[in-house]
Amino acid sequence: MYLKTVRYLKENIPDEFTYPFSIPSLSTLDEIQLPTNITFFVGENGSGKSTLLEAIADLCEFNTAGGGRQHLYDVHKSDSALSDYIRLSWKRKISRGFFLRAETFYQFASHIDLMDEPEGIKYASYGGKSLHQQSHGESFLSLFQNAFGKKSLYLLDEPEAALSPVRQLSLMKIMKDLEEEAQFIIATHSPILLGYPDATIYSFDDGKIEAVRYEDTTNYIVTKSFLNAPDRMLDELFKEEE
Ligand SMILES: Nc1ncnc2c1ncn2[C@@H]1O[C@H](COP(=O)(O)OP(=O)(O)O)[C@@H](O)[C@H]1O
Ligand SMILES: [Mg+2]
């Protein structure tokens, strides 16, 4: 475990009404503890998961458009509005790692293509060929299988966006193989990934960030109810208003 706590310096924020300070889940945030090597952020769309993950990536000096420290490219790079108000405490400080966001993976792939290095070298960490020549899911998994290493911090924003259920399981196996030495913080909606054993799960719902059990996440409850009885749930959903 490397990153130990993420503290919100609420006493320093300029106001509570502008983004990102206006995000409800931040309003009651003091500190997030990261006691396990796998941490998940869950919550409704717009609940603030990406904003916080991006601030952490910024403070780690990973490019906030996605990538590690060595990947300094500017395509759609966004400044984190929150990082000035976050403090990270480390158990052991490390600089290796990766910030992966589904939306900017395309630009990341282009950045690798444009690197001024022989193909054998520049694609070595990505399955031996351009990420553009692999399907979205394949290229994601290539990255996970080849670039992920030990003693690193991985910040992943909705990695499941590109992955079939089977490949989500493959990702979990890769995480398992690295878990002893690498740390992951993953924002996700995937009821599969969230089932990772003994992970810490933080919910960003209801205007607060709090640890929850897997079985108590909305993701688990809704998916389970749906798969148990799709017809019943859809009948309810499609029912004409009286
Ligand atoms: N650059 C921005 N400027 C203003 N508001 C933003 C910006 N980015 C996100 N937001 C808003 O902040 C809230 C949290 O967004 P985000 O962190 O992306 O949520 P999540 O990742 O949980 O879906 C949302 O209401 C979103 O519309
Ligand atoms: Mg998001």
Calpha distance 198→195 (Å, rounded): 9
Residue 231: predicted pLDDT = 96
Residue 164: predicted pLDDT = 85
Which residue from 42, 51, 56, 155 has its CB within 8 A of the most atoms of ligand 1, so it is best to mutate? 51
Question: Could you tell me the maximum CA-CA distance found in the chain, to the nearest angstrom?
Answer: 67
Residue 70: predicted pLDDT = 61
At what angle are helices 165-178 and 136-147 packed, to 10 degrees?
10
CATH of domain 3-238: 3.40.50
The residue nearest atom 27 of ligand 1, judged by CA position, is 46
Ligand 1: does its nearest atom lie under 6 Å from the Cβ of 43?
A: yes
Residue 177: predicted pLDDT = 87
Ligand 1: does its nearest atom lie under 6 Å from the Cβ of 37?
A: no
Cβ proximity of 142 and 131 under 8 Å: yes
Average pLDDT over residues 51-60: 93
Contacts of 242 (CB under 8 A, 6+ apart): none
Two tokens at 216?
A: 């108590």
Ligand 1: does its nearest atom lie under 6 Å from the Cβ of 146?
A: no
* pLDDT confidence band for 68 (50 / 70 / 90): low
Calpha distance 114→6 (Å, rounded): 35
Q: Is the pLDDT at 19 greater than 70, yes or no?
A: yes
Average pLDDT over residues 109-116: 80
Calpha distance 13→28 (Å, rounded): 13
* pLDDT confidence band for 78 (50 / 70 / 90): low
Q: Is the pLDDT at 76 greater than 50, yes or no?
A: no
Extract the runs of DSSP E, i.e. beta strands, from the chain: 3-8, 31-33, 38-42, 86-90, 97-101, 153-157, 183-187, 200-203, 210-212
Ligand 1: does its nearest atom lie under 6 Å from the Cβ of 47?
A: yes
Q: Please tell me the distance between residue 218's alpha carbon and the centre of ligand 2 in angstroms.
A: 16
Q: Percentage of the chain with pLDDT > 90?
A: 57
Q: According to the per-residue pLDDT averaged within each range, which of 22-26, 143-147, 161-165 is highest?
A: 22-26
SS3 content of the chain, % helix, strand, coil (to 5): 40, 15, 40
The tens digit of pLDDT for each residue in 189-205 reads 999 999 999 999 999 99
75 or 201, higher pLDDT: 201
Average pLDDT over residues 131-141: 75
Residue 75: predicted pLDDT = 45
